[in-house]
Structures are given as structure tokens and as C-alpha cells.
Structure 1
Amino acid sequence: MRYATYEYEGTERSGVVLGDALHPLPEGVTLLALIQQGGDALREEGLRALTRAAAVSVEQVRLLPPLTPPSIRDFVAFEAHIEGVSRSLDGLESVPEVWYRAPAFYFTNPHAAVGAYDGVPMPAGCSVLDFETEVAAVIGRSGKDLTPEEAREHIIGYTVFNDWSARDLQKPEKELGLGFSKGKDFANTLGPWLVTADELEHRREADGYLDLEMTVSLNGTLLGRDTLANASWTFDEMVAYASRDTWVRPGDILGSGTCGWGSLAEIWGRVGERTPPPLVPGDEVTMTVEGIGTISNRVLPGAPAQVPPRARKRGRTPRP
């Protein structure tokens, strides 16, 4: 089944997607709340929604992120992407050996999620805006110290994920060694809806990978094409790793990392120049994942940057 959260006539609702129609869940029932109740509750409420006559067209609503995630972990699972970005941003000729040791991830901002067709303002102070084409898995039930086999049963569904990146803000943040902050803090597109895991099971290969084509276009021109099956770790393995020594909880989102040819920075590393150039207001980025759907966001002008004060050198003697 497919579930969406949307705004219609000034009211936010969740519902089941069937064709071009949205069948609303009861007023006040959120997708996150249903997921927290478990997969059976989600399915039963969805089936009841389909029996109700009242429905609206997808074209009549503003699609919001399918759910408000408690957390977002974003992995970097595609070797091709790491290879291109390493050349572009760090001047490296090969993938760093440390990348192969484990499926690394970072935490990004769950409060910065935007809808499938919302505008995305330029982040303040950014002049090198980029996109990143990903699939996200959504956790359906709590788990800790999971094996990959167990982890598969904890994934309730999938959605398309654009991990927007301010490359010029990101670069000095990397030099400090604490991870990303404002370079990744401003927008994460999620949508257009949540597709339950059973809907995609027929695309699973013998080695556990989901063979889903991923494409990204800029202003109507196709820039990149890959498949989720080219990731170096399966989602089962990534969820298991995320659960090591800690909990994954219902509604948590785990991004696959950017697919091959899925971002401008990777393309720049491969062609040796910034072609296409960084995003500017008016550009429209469209991503499609087979079996899930399409998201398309236009870049908007952003707020002027407020330059923070430099650190004050105190030079004081520590108190005893």
C-alpha cells in the first residue's frame, strides 16, 4: 500500500493512495502514529480508508513529507558516488580505504523535511547548492543489536529522499572534523509517499538487494541513472549496523546515500569541471525511483546571510 500526508483546504491529513486518489485516514490520525502502533494497525486502517467514498485527487492537494521522522540517519552506500565526490571535493584519485570497512552514516536534521513538490530556498550564504538522489527506508518497529535477517522485518516501507547539500558551507565544516552542520541543515525532501515494503518485494534479488531504477533530472534534462542494487550494502545490513549498541525506533529514516551519477559534485569529479553549474533559483530537480514515485523541487531565493561573529580569543588564566 501507499500512504501520504497532505494539506487540503488548509487542513493536514494522512491517507491511502490508490491510483490518482487519496483516501483519507480518520481526522487526527497521523502516519507516524499508525507506524508506532505496528504494521497490522497501519494496514487495517489503510484498508478501512479505501472503503470510504470520500476521496480527493492527488492533484488537488499539497503533498507533505509522508511522516515526521524522529531521526534521519544518512548512509553513503554507493561506491561510484564516493569515487566521484572524492575527486571533486577532496582531490582524491581513489575511494578512501576506510569507506570499505563499514556502512558509515551521519545524522541529519529531521525538522528540515520538505514535501515532494515544495520549493526549496537557497540556504543563507550558499553559492554552491547541490542535490543528492537517494532512497530512504522507514523503520516500522523498535529493535536493537539486530542481525541483517532480523533487520529486514523492521523496515515498514520506503520513500524517495533528496539530501540537499550546500557544498561551499560543507567544505570548511569537514575541516573541523566534527561532521556536517549548516551545509546539510536546511532541507531534506521526502516523498511523494511511503510505499510499504511488501509492494517492492518482487524486485528483490537473490543477494538481498532491491533492483529499483533511480534517475535524476535538472530542468527536464536527465543527468543520472543508477539502480539501488548497485549499493555496496543492503538496507538490511545498514539497519543492522545502525542498531548496533542502540535502538532504531518506529518512524526513523535511513537514507541509502547518493546513487551513482546522483549529484552534481560527483559529476564534477568525473568530468573535471563544474558542468552543469551549481543550482540557482529557478532550477528544478526531479528524482524518480522505480516502484516508489517522483519528487520535484524548484530552488527559490533564500534569506540573506547573517555573518556570525568570529570566536573571541579570551586568553584568560583558568580558574583554580
Structure 2
Amino acid sequence: MEQSRRNPMAMARARHALTQAGLDPSVELVAASSVTNEVWLTPTHVVRVNRRPNQRLRREAILGPGLPAEIGYPLVVAYGGRLGADWLVVRRVPGEVLSRCWPSMSVAQRRDAIRQLAAKLRRLHRTPGPADLPRIDAPQMLRSDTLSPVMSLLVALDQARALDHVDRGLIDDAEQMVFDLTPAIEPFDGDYLIHGDLTFENILWDGERITAILDFEWARTAPNDLELDVLLRFCCFPQLHVAPDYRHETHARDYADVPWWLADDYPELFSHPRQLDRLLLYSIAYDVRDLMSAPPRSAVELDDPHHAVNRLRATVQRRSHLDMLDTAVV
């Protein structure tokens, strides 16, 4: 947020988007926290600018108008831009980011929020994906359009053996684990939507109710329990998934009950006989993609316990965040 506020080019991109959307470009702009995009607020609209060359916001512009009303997704006003600077303008929805509110919420408020979230997720997971939704390289290296859902993951693991500062023995163990766990996710298909990046940064709360689930850039059709991969990461390591300005007040202990509450309210999401195996494979597929996107440039980077290499090692050694969760949930 602070970086955007100090960056005149970021503000210029937002004003250009307002102009292209037919809105007043001179209106006051307030930079909002975001982990992935440049986000600006006007009194009535939200402007998001994606600086990555993937046009994720185009997918959201296509998807948003077809989402069920219960999700609370805002009205799409306009989409445009170019590769590396595409933008989306939507109407503002009442509420504050849930992860900002969470530290000061009572246990009763938190419990009610999860009950509401479960209902909205169940509705989303019964929504067919639009036929014209462009494909996206998902956070997890798993695909439904290949002979095996793990083909791209296995290719990436093979490439990872050549990376500097990455233990080949770790990659061998991860590969074997993928072979062992793959039957748990087959067939890997789904006709209904998942959000794909479900953290509390993407949920709005007005003090009594969830008013909207936002940021559907990574939404796609997939098995509904794939939704748990990012969500459980968020619950266990929330400080890694929020904007820097309130990271210091974001603690895992405040989210410790969330997986259990969600399992109570949405038991179908946790009902597969091999649920833990599925989640472990989802986790490997996420971490390998992260590793290949940003390979370690020096051994010093591996001092970070949350580096993709260390997360992968924890999963292989069965001491990951998933293994720490009670088996009643996973």
C-alpha cells in the first residue's frame, strides 16, 4: 500500500483506468493494501491494476458477472489495458477486509463469520464454470487435461534437480511421494468453480456479515477440496498472506479454530477417504510451482523456514502444517 502511494506511475495507471472506464479521473484515490495487485479506492469504485503479464483480471471480468448473488461479487464497471498493465474497475462493496478485522473480533463473531463463509463456499462450489473462461496456470501444478494430473508436476520436479542450492535427494523423495499419492486425486476433474486463492484478505466483513468474496483471478473448475490448499496455508501462516502494514498483528493462534469450524459447517469439503493424502499432494504441487518460479539464488535464502524448499522438505518429512492439523479435519 505505502509503495503504491509513493509511486506516481501507479497512481497514473489507476487514473488512466478511470478515464477509460468513463469515470472521473480527478477523483480522490486512496491506496489499498494488496498482496498481488495495485489497488486504489475512490468513494464509489475500486481500481485494480495487474502488473504481471498474465491478464488474470481479464478472467475475472469474464467470470464476475456470472457469479451467484450470494457471493456478493461487485458490479464490474469496465476492464481493459494491455499485457503487463491490465486493469479492472468495479463498484465498491460495504465492508472491511476480514483479516484486518479478525484480530479484534470476538470468538462469537469469528464463529459466525466462518458459518457464513461455509454457506458462500458451498454455493460457489455448485456454480458451473463459464465455457469461455481462459485457462490459467494455477498455483498448483496439477491439470485435468493431461493423461495424468501430475504430468506437469513431475516435469517440474525433474527440472528442479538441476537447480543450485536444492538437494537432489529431497527432489527424489518428493517425486516418490507424488507417485504414491497420485491415485488419491484421480480422477482430477470438476465442473464447478473454486475461488483458488481463498484467504481472508479476499473477504469483506461489515461487522455482522460477510458482504463479499473478492478477487477471483485464480478461479477455475476443479475438485472443491483444492480450495483448502491456500485456505489452510493461510490459517497456519496468516502473516505470509496479508499486506505488510498489518502483518505484525496477524497471528496463527487467532486462526487455530478456523479449520475445525469450517469442517463442522461444510463437512463435504473434508469428506474424501484419502483427504490428507490429497491435501499433501496439493501442497507439493503448490510448493514446486513456487520453487520453479523463484529458485534460490544463494544458500542464504534457505535460512527462511518458509522458503519453498523448506516447505517441500517439511511435507516430505511429514512435519508440514497439514501434519500438524488434527486428523479429524484432514
What TM-score do the two structures reach when normalised by structure 1? 0.26
- Which structure has more relative contact order (CA 8 Å, sep 6+)? It is 1
**Larger helix fraction of residues:** 2
What TM-score do the two structures reach when normalised by structure 2? 0.26
**Larger strand fraction of residues:** 1
